[in-house]
Structure 1
């Protein structure tokens, strides 16, 4: 039930701002729980990659970021995409990451593994949630959910997609980091 609500809320978005700084329209419902700037509000780090805005018909906002990773890193996190919180998060709140991804060069039936999650933005880089997205050539919504062990100020946690696991091409669509509140059981949220 929550998976359908999340996908429906994400699919119903309409963006009109630039691809790397999109925001959700004002309104009610699930997107009121967003603690990041929903959309393709990605920031990148690392070396040996190229990122550019691209059209992505069929996903919210119809835009994505095309990332070409030139070489496998020593660690999967050597190149990554992040979206930081812009609102505070309370201790014990359940967090849900929902992100559109695809591997446009993958053959039908083939997938690439991308670690995704929610973590602290500074050392020691504690992890709130993590999962592996098995990303194929078609757009799909991927999830990671977990609980905040303490309160966090805006910018102290972020959504992450680790990109240095291989020489590869990945397209990152809109990212949504949702604070589902303390009463929500992370196990009952969508998962991959």
Structure 2
């Protein structure tokens, strides 16, 4: 697998995540930092270049260099002749989530022309977002002229159809000329119309409603300031503690202490009410500010289970995951796709504390629906 170092964050920050889908793996610190800085939600892994390359006669190889912007790595693709259609030779960069019709999508990527048999010596790349199985439906078809020097290119479009998770790709169509092209770091975002437009984020205090990392990423469908959560389970104690200097806690946090592992992690838990309806296939972004409480475990780590569920029998749900917490406050962001519809006022984010003898502190919990209209503030 071709893996690049992640260096694009400064560029974007300065210039301005089928059937039930479980929470994506916790992103690396670098990817989380990028997602925090971008408008909308990151829906690909920009550090990967192990893309599907296809087409008769084409050859490809990874290249590295200090002069390559973004991750100092790229794919060099040689197209031996112009095709009858642009898509006879191509590269497909995977998208990690489903796409819902009506969603704004932005594709930004670095590229340059090494050589091209064209009148101006510049290469041609067609870009579209598409389903990677027949009938290969897609949207956003744009043909770009690629300069000889490295440059950031951006294509934006509104999804005209829905694409299931595991089937969506960014298709780079390369048969527009006999040419040698290099394509570098590629970033795909849902819920935004540009990555390079300037934006001003609000400074977060301990009591404001929404952390800057979450602004513009979706519609808030719970009340983060309400911490009157039902806490349940044998062998556990809980209390509200002051945390006035920690942004995102609302000035207080919930501490839950378990003296021994429960028979099941979910035997000790708390339920955070979801106020609005969640429809099947909606993509939710969950933000949880939490840490291992001081002295809460021998090594400073703890395990917090999480899922979205119906808050009454039979407690059906989706998105089960276990978060590893450290001794410092951290905002963990996770995406999940609803496998069923949950009526307004009937859903909850369930937190499970019973995995071990441990003490965990939880500040605000945010539930955002990224599939509907997004209220943008301080943008």
Please give the TM-score of this superposition, normalised by the length of structure 1: 0.75
Q: More relative contact order in 1 or in 2 (CA 8 Å, sep 6+)?
A: 1
Distance 1:107 1:9 in 2: 36
Q: Does the 8 Å CA contact 1:92/1:182 hold for their aligned counterparts?
A: no
1:72-87 → structure 2 map (5 Å cutoff): 72-87=261-276
Q: 1:12 aligns with which of 166, 179, 204?
A: 204
Q: Does the 8 Å CA contact 2:303/2:356 hold for their aligned counterparts?
A: no
1:94-173 → structure 2 map (5 Å cutoff): 94-104=283-293, 105-106=295-296, 110-173=300-363
CA separation of 1:32/1:93 partners in 2, compared to 1, >3 Å: closer, same or farther? Answer: closer
Superposed CA deviations along residues 103-146 of structure 1, whole A, max 9, x for unmatched, are 12257964222212222223333332132211111101123321
Unaligned 5+ runs, structure 2: 1-33, 41-199, 374-379
CA separation of 1:35/1:141 partners in 2, compared to 1, >3 Å: closer, same or farther? Answer: same
Q: How far 1:37 moved relative to its partner?
A: 1.1
Q: How many residues align?
A: 172
Q: 2:253 aligns with which of 45, 49, 64?
A: 64
Structure (1 or 2) with the larger CA radius of gyration: 2
1:181 aligns with 2:368: no
Superposed CA deviations along residues 118-175 of structure 1, whole A, max 9, x for unmatched, are 2222333333213221111110112332112233212322112111111211111100
- The worse-fitting range, judged by mean Cα deviation, of 133-142 and 88-97 is 88-97
Q: Does the 8 Å CA contact 2:217/2:370 hold for their aligned counterparts?
A: no
Query: What's the secondary structure of 2:36's corresponding residue?
Result: helix
1:2 aligns with 2:5: no
Alignment correspondent of 1:88: 277
Distance 1:59 1:165 in 2: 27
Q: Does the 8 Å CA contact 1:35/1:87 hold for their aligned counterparts?
A: yes
| Greater percentage in helix | 1
- The worse-fitting range, judged by mean Cα deviation, of 106-115 and 145-154 is 106-115
Superposed CA deviations along residues 6-64 of structure 1, whole A, max 9, x for unmatched, are 9x989725538xxxxxxx38xxx548711111135232111222211112222222321
Query: What's the secondary structure of 1:181's corresponding residue?
Result: coil
Distance 1:161 1:84 in 2: 11
Alignment correspondent of 1:21: none
Alignment correspondent of 1:39: 225
RMSD: 3.0
CA separation of 1:43/1:143 partners in 2, compared to 1, >3 Å: closer, same or farther? Answer: farther
Unaligned 5+ runs, structure 1: 17-23, 184-192
Please give the TM-score of this superposition, normalised by the length of structure 2: 0.40
- The worse-fitting range, judged by mean Cα deviation, of 39-48 and 60-69 is 39-48
Q: Does the 8 Å CA contact 1:9/1:31 hold for their aligned counterparts?
A: no
CA separation of 1:91/1:121 partners in 2, compared to 1, >3 Å: closer, same or farther? Answer: same
Q: Does the 8 Å CA contact 1:93/1:180 hold for their aligned counterparts?
A: yes
